[in-house]
């Protein structure tokens, strides 16, 4: 069974069809990229998956469970992890505490009022930090991290929830090219070793073609292509959408 199965997803804003019947599936350990030109409906689609927006129609299933329209909080508890386009971490906590916080939330341990949190899940947090290569920064304040480090921290926070599905919104936005590759390779490794399904949106085509197992292309709210990197590269409709303007202005 697919980790995530989307069927006939629809959403319109004030009469404008932003997403018009999109369907796809993501498998265990798979990295699936969702791409499309600006205004294609990527963000809307993504925000319906992560619970930020309620769909008008269609269904979203996580494993066997229907999760259509559930709020982000509920999704998190069902094993959906997230990273944000603009990183969202807890600025008043250290790097380790950020991860400990996520672990506490995951283990339903937050409604406790007396035992100091500093000792809770400390080892597990350190293990996670080690996996993303941030062990030596555990004591630093999250508020002062470099952007690339923040992105990695977000990944560790998401991992603390032991997700089956990881939704990454523009994971490499704002990063230097070298960092981008490193981050996506990290994600790739996690997908493979933890059998996590990863769905991400991305602008950088090098990242997309370099890391995704499969690619979905969205245009004007509809899915116009789906397939491997090579298949997408070769797809004429995709070329038209992406290179359309280039083809006409710089053409024959």
Binding site for another protein (CB under 8 A): 50, 71-74, 76-77, 81-82, 84, 88-94, 97, 100-102, 104-106, 109-118, 120, 140-144, 157-158, 160-161
Q: Which CB, 17 or 85, lies closer to another protein?
A: 85
The distance of closest approach from Cβ of residue 45 to another protein in the complex, given in angstroms and rounded to an integer, is 18
Q: Which CB, 153 or 225, lies closer to another protein?
A: 153
Task: Enumerate the β-bridge partners of residue 193.
Answer: none
Q: Which CB, 1 or 119, lies closer to another protein?
A: 119
Q: Which CB, 54 or 112, lies closer to another protein?
A: 112
What's the rounded Cα separation, in Å, for the pair 34 and 234?
17
Burial level of 35, CB count in 10 A (0-12/13-18/19+)?
buried
Half-sphere exposure (CA, 13 Å, Cβ side) for 112?
Answer: 13
* Residues in contact with 39: Cβ distance below 8 Å, sequence separation at least 6, in sequence order: 220
The distance of closest approach from Cβ of residue 250 to another protein in the complex, given in angstroms and rounded to an integer, is 33
What is the C-alpha radius of gyration for the chain, rounded to an integer number of angstroms? 19
What's the rounded Cα separation, in Å, for the pair 96 and 229?
37
Q: Which CB, 144 or 178, lies closer to another protein?
A: 144
Nearest-5° Cα angle at 46, 28 to 64? 40
The distance of closest approach from Cβ of residue 39 to another protein in the complex, given in angstroms and rounded to an integer, is 23
The distance of closest approach from Cβ of residue 133 to another protein in the complex, given in angstroms and rounded to an integer, is 19
Contact 91, 141 (CB under 8 A): yes
């Amino acid at each position: 069974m697919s980790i995530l199965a989307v069927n006939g997803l629809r959403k319109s804003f004030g009469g404008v069809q932003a997403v018009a019947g999109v369907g796809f599936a993501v498998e265990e350990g798979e990295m699936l990229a969702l791409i499309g030109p600006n205004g294609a409906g990527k963000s809307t689609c993504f925000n319906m998956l992560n619970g930020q927006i309620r769909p008008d129609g269609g269904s979203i299933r996580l494993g066997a469970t229907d999760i259509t329209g559930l709020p982000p909080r509920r999704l998190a508890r069902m094993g959906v992890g997230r990273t944000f386009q603009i990183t969202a971490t807890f600025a008043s906590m250290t790097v380790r505490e950020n991860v400990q916080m996520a672990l506490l939330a995951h283990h339903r341990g937050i409604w406790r009022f007396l035992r100091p949190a500093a000792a809770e899940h400390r080892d597990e947090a350190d293990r996670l930090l080690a996996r993303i290569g941030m062990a030596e920064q555990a004591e630093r304040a999250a508020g002062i991290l470099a952007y690339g480090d923040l992105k990695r921290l977000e990944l560790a926070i998401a991992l603390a929830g032991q997700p089956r599905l990881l939704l990454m919104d523009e994971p490499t936005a704002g990063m230097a090219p070298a960092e981008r590759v490193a981050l996506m390779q990290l994600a790739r490794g996690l997908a493979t070793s933890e059998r996590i399904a990863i769905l991400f949106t991305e602008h950088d085509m090098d990242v997309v073609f370099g890391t995704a197992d499969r690619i979905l292309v969205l245009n004007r709210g509809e899915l116009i292509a789906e397939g491997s990197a090579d298949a997408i590269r070769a797809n004429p409709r995709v070329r038209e959408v992406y290179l359309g303007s280039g083809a006409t202005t710089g053409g024959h």
